[in-house]
Amino acid sequence: MNRTIENENIKNILVIRRNNAGDMICAIPVFRTLRKQFPDASITVLADSSNAHVVRGASFIDNLLVYEKGEGIYSNKYINYWRLFRENGTKFDLVIVLKVGFSSVSALITLLSGARLRSGCLRGKWHPLWACYNLPVKVHDVMRDMHAVDGYLEALRTIGIKEQVRDISIETSPESRDRVRKFFEENNIRAAENVIVYNISNNRPDNMWPPERFKETMRLLSENYSAIHIISAVPSDREKGVALSSEMENAFYFPEKSKFMDFAALVEQSDLLICGEGGSMHIGASVHTPVISLWGGTSSVGNWMHRTEKQFMVKKGKHVTTISPSDIIDVVIENNLLKGANE
């Protein structure tokens, strides 16, 4: 019988969720669940610099440790993690790795944390570092096919945490909401209009929709609705975004995509987000804005599909270019995603 934490005295919890923003958003229900299960415990999240912004300042955690690449002797990541824990000084009772699969790096990090109880998933061929975990979670077939959120919560259930909170909401900052308000005022964008956000960037080549497809989608939406189009992009795609906004009426370039909370606040105040598969779709789900995500060839649809209501996936072939602008319009019309269709 597996050991559980039901009778353990837990005062300090460390949760490890590395990698990208979407990974961290999918971990939010775990943080909320732990807060409910251990209301008096201190919850610390260990993040990478690439995803720490998702939970910085969040009410459902107490502390945030951010791993940054080191120099000299600290260019060795294990020595660098050891330094991070030493400088933090917290004596952890429990550490949980959030990954529905085995990571040898994360397993060693749990040892470096000094935590008394160490939990992580075991999957695939036996590995000697499985021994790092004294609260192991064996990944079964059903768990392997679950959405990432459900997989994380199932791992908690396995170690004795039965009550689950599935709320994936992030908390946008007042400063970011204020910046979006000013952007709307400066561009005379009114709440009565359909505000549509397009994230034209994607870090997966097979999910990169061409700018001309976004342009045609804007044109078709403007034919059917009174719409304001806001284009966002990562800095490397800025020229494409600016050019696209200048080619269309009622189109604006939002320059803050590199600031996670500003983009999240923008999507929160909008009526629809259209984007490729990736972190942006999880942001839309986390602020409860309808999302149409465009998918190319990926095997992880069931594991990483965005959550919450009015989240729509469009996937037709191995590359996202098999999706046409008319496919997007069909989803909008069929699901009544925008208000006041033109006659």
The predicted structure's pLDDT at residue 1: 46
Q: For residue range 43-53, what is the model confidence (pLDDT) as tens digits?
A: 999 999 999 99
Contacts of 178 (CB under 8 A, 6+ apart): none
Between CA 43 and CA 161 the distance in angstroms is 15
Please determine, for residue 58, whether its predicted confidence score (pLDDT) is greater than 60. yes
The predicted structure's pLDDT at residue 24: 94
The predicted structure's pLDDT at residue 336: 94
Do 129 and 113 contact (CB within 8 A), yes or no? Answer: no
| CA nearest to 266, candidates 199, 176, 131, 134 | 176
pTM (predicted TM-score): 0.89
| CA nearest to 101, candidates 283, 307, 298, 303 | 303
Q: For residue range 90-105, what is the model confidence (pLDDT) as tens digits?
A: 999 999 999 999 999 9
| CA nearest to 169, candidates 269, 279, 308 | 308
Q: Which residue has the tokens 């096919």?
A: 145
| CA nearest to 26, candidates 322, 317, 279 | 279
The predicted structure's pLDDT at residue 192: 74
Coil, helix or strand at residue 296: coil
Q: What is the DSSP letter of 95?
A: E
Identify the weakest region by mean pLDDT among 1-15, 84-98, 246-260, 309-323: 1-15
Between CA 217 and CA 227 the distance in angstroms is 12
Please determine, for residue 231, whether its predicted confidence score (pLDDT) is greater than 90. yes
Structural domains in the chain, sorted by start: 12-158 (3.40.50.2000), 174-334 (3.40.50.2000)
| Complete DSSP assignment for 241-266 | HHHHHHHSTTEEE-TTTTSHHHHHHH
The predicted structure's pLDDT at residue 256: 61
| Complete DSSP assignment for 134-149 | SEEEEPPHHHHTS-HH
User: Mean pLDDT across the chain, nearest whole number?
Assistant: 91
The predicted structure's pLDDT at residue 296: 82
- Place 299 in a pLDDT band, splitting at 50, 70 and 90: very low
Please determine, for residue 42, whether its predicted confidence score (pLDDT) is greater than 50. yes
Q: What is the mean pLDDT of residues 54-72?
A: 95
- Place 144 in a pLDDT band, splitting at 50, 70 and 90: confident
Q: What is the mean pLDDT of residues 118-126?
A: 93
Between CA 321 and CA 302 the distance in angstroms is 21
| CA nearest to 96, candidates 26, 170, 27 | 27
The predicted structure's pLDDT at residue 300: 58
Q: What's the one-letter identity of residue 44?
A: T
